Amino acid sequence: MSCIGNSGEIFAPLRAISDDCELTSVLSGNRNFDGRINPNVAQNYLAAPALVIAYALAGTVDVDLTREPVCQGSAGPVFLADLLPADDEVASVLSQVLDPSLYARAAAGLMEGGESWQALPAEGGSTFAWDPDSTYVRRPSYFEDARREDAISLTDARALALLGDFVTTDHISPAGAIADGSPAARYLEERGITRANFNTYGSRRGNHEVMMRGTFANVRLENRLAAGRLGGWTTDPVTGELATIFDAAASARAARIPLVIIAGKMYGSGSSRDWAAKGPALLGVRAVIAESFERIHRSNLIGMGVLPLQFREGESAASLGLDGTETFSVGPVDLSTGEPNPSYAQVVARRADGREVSFTARVRVDTKTEAAQLRAGGILPFVLDALLK
């Protein structure tokens, strides 16, 4: 019954065999994505809270609780029907413990906070006082990174990841525990944070340095540029060596190489997550070329200044013979008229031997507001410009 991977460590012997078999969980929330409850747990099934307890007692999901016992009791087999209360039993208990005064007491002083909250020191002034030593809240570089462009074009961009179908925002967005040895763990250790105090990505979501290091770091991510290795790995576009996605992106940034993501169908499916767009943008991703996009995530990419391009119907990276090692040149796409012009961008993928694959991709900028946001470099500079005017 935990959220976004905060369930803690699993039983050590199970963790040891997680690479050889698929572990499963039963949960009462909606976090049923691959590796979401715990990086080592692949299959996650939704059930009512009572069934979470029942399966925990059974110790396996390979059981039919309508016919088989949950467990063996001191007096013989115990079935689910023996454990679940009847509706009238539940109603009887609720009538004894619930009345309007319970909610009135809970709401009293809700907006004032407790004494400890009131005692917290607060800086004055009209702007936030950023603490340069904080590992929880840091000033992100969204405005500095924003590119105000009437026309978007890319020259000799490299693929940070070559992905398949249904890559979810859980694969992209940092979530759950911060793994030992990861780029985020190294960042915290360099600042004197011990393993016991790493906390989670969710708790440190106000620190873009931690979050960008956890982008695409899902242990179940299948990146075809990672030489068969699962997780947040890719081929460094500068050195050609296997590296973490963060380190490869940093290497590309130092070499002034723009980055793209190549993906299949329904890129960004699942829950809408702001960091699934923020993270790639901070890593230097300028465009995502996919067979199709989840609706909200496509809009979120535009909000972070990332250009969404969609393969033509029937085309894909595979059908075009792309393996992700190419350099990609895109555009230009003129946004000054309020509509993308042209609505299909020219993309040229150049292989190492000089051969080129040329194709057109649909520019998925679907409204004038989206065009204005992308032209401003994202929704934050777009709003700032409007305020300044």
Using CB atoms within 10 A of its CB, is residue 363 exposed (0-12), middle (13-18) or buried (19+)?
Answer: buried
Please tell me the predicted confidence (pLDDT) of residue 109: 80
Please tell me the predicted confidence (pLDDT) of residue 31: 67
Q: How far apart are CA 243 and CA 256, in angstroms?
A: 18
Q: How far apart are CA 281 and CA 297, in angstroms?
A: 13
For residue 23, give the H/E element and its range.
strand 23-27
User: How many C-beta neighbours within 10 Å does residue 374 have?
Assistant: 27
Q: How far apart are CA 272 and CA 295, in angstroms?
A: 10
Q: How far is CA 86 from CA 82, 89, 102, 177, 235, in A?
A: 10, 5, 25, 39, 58
Please tell me the predicted confidence (pLDDT) of residue 202: 87
Give the residue carrying structure tokens 């005017």: 389
| Contact (CB, 8 A) for 25 and 45 | yes
- CATH class assigned to 146-177+212-388: alpha beta
Q: How far apart are CA 306 and CA 298, in angstroms?
A: 9
Q: Where do you find CATH 3.20.19.10 in the chain?
A: 146-177+212-388
Alpha-helix residue ranges (DSSP H) falling in the chain: 12-17, 49-58, 80-83, 87-97, 100-107, 115-118, 142-145, 169-172, 183-190, 208-213, 245-254, 275-283, 295-303, 368-376, 379-388
Give me the tens of pLDDT residue by residue for the chain, a chain 389 residues long.
456 656 677 888 988 888 788 888 898 877 677 777 777 888 889 999 999 999 999 999 999 999 999 999 999 999 999 999 999 999 999 999 999 998 998 888 888 877 888 888 888 888 888 999 999 999 999 999 889 999 999 999 999 999 999 999 989 999 878 888 999 999 999 999 999 999 889 899 999 999 999 999 988 899 999 999 999 999 999 999 999 999 999 999 999 999 999 999 999 998 888 999 999 999 999 999 999 999 999 999 999 999 999 999 999 999 999 999 999 999 899 999 888 999 999 999 999 999 999 999 999 999 999 999 999 999 999 999 999 99
Q: How far apart are CA 16 and CA 34, in angstroms?
A: 18
